Amino acid sequence: MSRPLAGPDTPGLAALVGGLEVVVCCGSGGVGKTTLSAALAAAIAATSDRRVMVLTIDPARRLATALGMSGIGADPVTVPAARLREAGLPLRGELVAAMLDQKSVWTGWWSATLPTARWRGGS
């Protein structure tokens, strides 16, 4: 199906992703996935009162850099609204960032989702 690049007739961002709960940004290496993820999350948090979490699998600090933070860990951390406002990104909603730390996430998830010792491999 042939479609034009985004223009006046292309549905806006809100229409394209507005009702979704999970947006997974992927692509070849170096195409700007992290910046786009951060920007998409910020744009939605700026234009709606939604609580938006941006989650990176990249252990490098690219997402933190993109959000003007010194670092991001496995626990979700709120991106300071004041800092975003100073940078010209006033938020209506809330923006939270986290990084996938393999060990802690893995342990935590299975501990939470497999509630009995037997399923967790205990006796």
Does residue number 80 form part of the binding site for another protein (CB under 8 A)? Answer: no
Does residue number 41 form part of the binding site for another protein (CB under 8 A)? Answer: yes
Does residue number 60 form part of the binding site for another protein (CB under 8 A)? Answer: no
Does residue number 32 form part of the binding site for another protein (CB under 8 A)? Answer: yes
Residue closer to another protein (CB basis): 13 or 73: 13
On whether the CB atoms of residues 107 and 97 are closer than 8 A, the answer is no
- The type of residue at 14 is A
Total of residues contacting another protein (CB under 8 A): 79
Does residue number 11 form part of the binding site for another protein (CB under 8 A)? Answer: yes
**Residues found in the chain:** 123
CA triple 68-108-63, angle to 5 deg: 15
